[in-house]
Amino acid sequence: MPINRLLKTGEYTPEQIDLFNRAFSLALHSMGLVDRNDPLCEIVARKVIEIGKTGALDAKGIAQAAVASIGL
pLDDT at 72: 63
Q: How confident is the model at residue 56 (pLDDT cuts 50, 70, 90)?
A: confident
Mean pLDDT, residues 26-45: 91
pTM of this structure: 0.90
What is the structure's pLDDT at 71? Answer: 81
Give yes or no for a contact between 21 and 42, defined as CB atoms under 8 angstroms apart: no
What is 10-61 written as a DSSP string?
S---HHHHHHHHHHHHHHHHHHT---TTSHHHHHHHHHHHHHHTTT---HHH
